[in-house]
Structure 1
Amino acid sequence: MRRKKDNKRVGDELEEQQETRLRLPRKNEVFGIVIAVVGGSRMRVSCKDGKERICRIPGKLKNKIWVKDGDVVLVEPWPIEGDTKGDIVYRYTPLQANALRQKGFI
């Protein structure tokens, strides 16, 4: 007889137990929350500096990051049209987002 496999992934337990280092914004990066997926790897993001930007996922991250509505992300505004456009640099996991909220960053 075969045993049923657990639905949990192996990494889930490790992520819950360990407190990981949080990636904080570097120079010219801001926190943001995804409001809507526009299409064509573009998202509408509400940034912490009070501006709403259309952000894209760069090609090198396109298949590595899956971004949904409500995700907490790091945004790097463009040098030109930086008030309205930017790049998504990093997506936080739900556990990391909760840790950021507890520490008062978001």
Structure 2
Amino acid sequence: MPKNKGKGGKNKKRGKNEADDEKRELVYKEDGQEYAQVIRMLGNGRCEAMCIDGAKRLCHIRGKMHKKVWIAAGDIILVGLREYQDDKADVILKYMADEARRLQQYEELPESIRVNESVMDPGDDDGGIDDYVDFEDEDIDRI
């Protein structure tokens, strides 16, 4: 058997996450860019996002972020708009929860956007009805 010369393989690369503990500089939008909130993930490196300008766009996750930065429904992202396709965009950056809150404090994001909460799927059939029941104190005592 050959001697193991490396420092590790796939599992070592998976365990590495250097960007978690360090603070990074807050990136603001420029010309041709827009803030958006992910509505749902579609697979194949794509997601559906509602942009701040009110348009719903199909977003493509760029290769540098693919399988390295995990995006979920409800996340705030920065997308690059396409000049030739208004209904499509490219994901440039995912904001962490504290960065998104700071953007809201600096009034870059509107107050109506819920940071760090999942977005309600428009295809839900219950119409936004909550799945919990309120009990009175007497009810709990009887149980």
What residue is the counterpart of 2:87 in the other structure? 84
For residue 53 of structure 2, what is the aligned residue in structure 1? 49
| Structure 1 residue 104: Cα displacement | 1.1
Gaps of 5+ in 1: 1-9
Question: What TM-score comes out, normalization by structure 1 length?
Answer: 0.77
Q: Is the 8 A contact 2:32 2:82 kept in 1?
A: no
Q: Percent identity?
A: 29
Greater relative CO, 1 or 2 (CA 8 Å, sep 6+) = 1
Query: Structure 2 CA distance, aligned partners of 1:91 and 1:58?
Result: 11
Deviations 1:57-86 (A, max 9, x none): 0112213311001000001112221x2101
Partner of 2:29: 25
Measure the CA separation in 1 of the matches of 2:51 and 2:38.
9
The count of corresponding residues between Structure 1 and Structure 2 is 90
Q: Secondary structure at the match of 1:96?
A: helix
Runs of 4+ in 1 over 2 A off after TM superposition: none
Instruction: State the match for 1:34 in structure 2.
Output: 38
Match for 2:108: what amino acid? Answer: F
* Corresponding residue of 1:103: 106
The runs of 5 or more residues in structure 2 that have no matched partner are: 1-19, 110-143
Q: Which has the larger radius of gyration?
A: 2
CA RMSD of aligned residues (A): 1.6
Q: CA deviation at 1:91?
A: 0.3
Q: Which protein has the bigger strand share? A: 1
CA separation in 2, counterparts of 1:21 and 1:77? Answer: 22
